[in-house]
Structure formats: C-alpha cells, structure tokens
Amino acid sequence: MTFKKMFISDLISDISMGPFGSNIKVECFVEEGIPVLNGSNLEGIVLNEESFRFVTEEKADSLSKANAHKGDVVITHRGTLGQIIFIPDNAKYDRYVISQSQFRLTCNEKILPEYLVYYFHTRLGQYKLLSNASQVGVPALARPTSTFQKLSIEVPDINSQRKIVYLLESIRKKIEINKAINKNLEELAQSLFKSWFIDCSQWKGQVPSSWTDGQLGNFVDIKRGGSPRPIQDYLTGSGLRWLKISDVTSIQSPFVIDIKDHIIEEGLNKTVFLREGSLVLSNSATPGIPKILDVDSCIHDGWLYFPKSKFSKEYLYLYFKEIRNHLINLGNGSVFNNLKTDILKSYPTVLPDEITLYKFDDIVKPIFENIRILNRESYKLSNIKETLLPRLMSGEIDVSNLNI
C-alpha cells in the first residue's frame, strides 16, 4: 500500500465559510425548517443530530454558500477547535446551514470524506489542524479556509481508503448500535419506575397504605466525597482513579468506566474511595447527575455517595433521574450550582414495601446488567478503534490485501 503526499486544495472541489453572525439573528429561527449546526453537532466523527435550531427554506437559500449537504465535511474554526465531522448519506435532512464558527467543504474523487475526517482525528491530524490556532481571546484558526487548503496529508489509493474506512466505520457503527440499545433499555427502566412509583398505575393511582411517607434521609445515608488540597499536588498519570464531573457530563450510559485522572495514594486519607458498583450523584458544577461506577474510584467533594440505603442502586439511579429537575430548581425556582446535602436529605420521599421493591428490582436489575455489558463492550471497541486509527492512517497496517 503506497501513500502519496497531497495538499488539501487538491482533494476538494468546494470550500466556504459559515455566514456572518448578523445574517442569522435570533429572530431568524423557526420551529421547523432547515437545521442550523452548532458545536454540539460536531462532537465525534459523524454529524450528531440530537439538537438543532431551524431557519426557513428561504433563509437557507439566501445562505447557499453556507449550506452543507450529505457527504460534506464540516470543521469548527472558532471556539471548540479540533472538531471535524462528515455528514453521512443517511443523515435526517438533505441540507444543513453551518454556523459562523464553522466552514464546510466537499471532497473530490481523490479522497473519501470519511477518510479525511478520520485522518484529522489522529494525533498528527489534530496537530496539523490546530497548527495555526490563536489562543488570544476566543480560540480561533487564522484564515481558516485558505490555511486549511495549504495543509498536506499522506493519502493512499481510493480502494485502500475504502477498506480503512470500512474497518473504522464498522467499529463506530457497532458502538452506536450499542448506545441506541442502551438508550432504549434505560428508557424502558425509567418508564417502569414512573409507572410504579410516580403514577402508581398498578394501584389505580393511589399510594398503597403499606408504603411509608418520609424524607430521603430517613431511608438513605447521604455522604459527601473529599478532596486533598491543593489537588495539583496529588494528581498523577496513574494510580487511584479520580472521578471528575467532566467525566460524566457527556456520557449517556448510567455506568462510568472511562475515568481520565488519577491521584497518588498519599491522597487516599483525604478523599473517599468507592468500589465498582457504587452509586454517586453530582452536587456541584452540573448538579443532580446520577452515575454507577463500573470501576473503583476516588470521589471529590463535588460528589455525594450512599453507603447505606433501603433502596437498590438501580432504584436510586432512576429516582434521581426522575426528580433531578425538582432538585436543581429548589429555592424560588432558581438553578443553583451546588446540591446541598441537607436539600437531598429533606426531599419528600416514599418508601415502598419490601415485596414491591423486590419485584421491581427483579425486573430492572437484569436491564441494568445488559446496559453494563454493552457499555463495557463499547468501551473496549472504542479503545480498539483508537489503537487502529493511527496505524491504519500511517500504513503500519497494510489493508491492500484485505478482501473487503
């Protein structure tokens, strides 16, 4: 398999910047129409279609240069730098309007858009993409479209590109399938929880007399994590895992397995060490997020944990998901940045009888176990993809003889 050095300008047929901010004002947005991309849509490899704002078709027509279509590549040049995705053939919409912080391009017959995007997700690709970034004020790329076209990359023949993309996309799509299954499973568990314990559907909408009224603190021990300080003196490249709020804000799964930071053992007596399977709840930064640890980890004082509980961790997880909006809007309806322990302890809570809890757990525990298994599989697949990516892009792994 041979590679040829080529400039981006030789690999694309069209490139254009997003519109000026004055061309898309708040009053331009409508409930339905042509979707406008934002930074959250550019997280990952392929377009994320979970949240959009829309403009009319007429407005999108007036911004034709800023229209991106299926097969196009979209790159962030201002704000969260390093984002680059392709719009797949099965995208929901025929076209999208890029934002003022993005530019778009169309590849020619010499390169697959998927290959180009995967290349710029390697360490070398990110280095090249960010090589002309300015960190003064809002991070931005200088003269983004012209500078990007001057970049050079090593490109194999189109057939080899297809094989590389096939391997990487097979892994990515399997991860996406797992996520979709897990999302459906969690929604099922949440709907069961609501039906049983919020709507009391099985009891004709009435709370059974065998259930006990009280406050959460009557049924659950609520403790807070701890932080050795200054934390910079305790952080290390390996050692005891150190769970941060940022580790969970972008993950959909109930389970946390990928924890990036670690602390040295000397910090152990100033923090809280929890075993795999423990439930935690964020109480700062982004409060009210419940997660179940799938690895042992230390937690700082931005987390709450529950050493004793009359509820299972699965029940509590679903309970916290159900009441989160109530928790973070207590106190005259204002959102606060800290979920105080006293607020949680005093939250009105009903304790169902043991038989009901047992029957519910008997249904939801297998659901959570299936979610955990698929989440672990996706984590392993993600690591495999990250290992394969640079080796495939550098030619260390020769795909020319693969029969794909």
pLDDT of residue 21: 77
pLDDT tens sequence across 233-273: 999 999 999 999 999 998 999 999 999 999 999 999 999 99
Q: For residue 163, is it within any domain?
A: no
Residue of 245, 256, 349 lying closest to 287 (CA atoms): 245
59 φ, ψ to 5°? Answer: -65, -40
pLDDT tens sequence across 256-315: 999 999 999 999 999 999 999 999 999 988 899 999 999 999 999 999 999 999 999 999
Residue of 88, 137, 96 lying closest to 114 (CA atoms): 88
Domain final residue, candidates 333, 351, 369: 351
> pTM of the prediction?
0.90
Query: In this structure, are 133 and 39 located in the same domain?
Result: yes
Asked if residue 102 has pLDDT above 90, the reply is yes
Q: For residue 358, is it within any domain?
A: no
CA distance 158 to 101: 31
Query: In this structure, are 258 and 128 located in the same domain?
Result: no
Residue of 347, 279, 344 lying closest to 314 (CA atoms): 279
- How many domains in the chain? 2
Place of tokens 């609520």: 222
Range of the domain at 218: 212-351
Q: Give, as one character, the DSSP assignment of residue 338.
A: B
pLDDT tens sequence across 134-181: 877 789 998 999 999 999 999 999 999 999 999 999 999 999 999 999
CA distances from 206 to 140, 179, 197, 257, 330 (A): 58, 35, 10, 39, 26
CA distances from 54 to 95, 101, 119 (A): 12, 17, 31
Q: Among 136-145, 179-188, 351-360, 361-370, name the one with the lowest average pLDDT.
A: 136-145
Q: For residue 173, is it within any domain?
A: no
The kind and range of the H/E element at 213 are strand 212-215
Query: In this structure, are 132 and 219 located in the same domain?
Result: no
Q: For residue 127, is it within any domain?
A: yes
Q: For residue 177, is it within any domain?
A: no
DSSP secondary structure of 228-295? -SSGGGTEESSSEEEE-GGGTTT--SSEE----EEE-GGGGGGSEEE-TT-EEEE-BSSTT-EEEESS
Query: In this structure, are 220 and 342 located in the same domain?
Result: yes
Q: For residue 174, is it within any domain?
A: no
Query: In this structure, are 7 and 148 located in the same domain?
Result: yes
Domain final residue, candidates 106, 125, 155: 155
- Single-letter amino acid, residue 142: A
CATH number at residue 239: 3.90.220.20
How confident is the model over 187-216, as a mean pLDDT? 97
Asked if residue 334 has pLDDT above 60, the reply is no
Q: For residue 341, is it within any domain?
A: yes
Q: For residue 79, is it within any domain?
A: yes
Domain final residue, candidates 120, 155, 190: 155
Query: In this structure, are 230 and 340 located in the same domain?
Result: yes
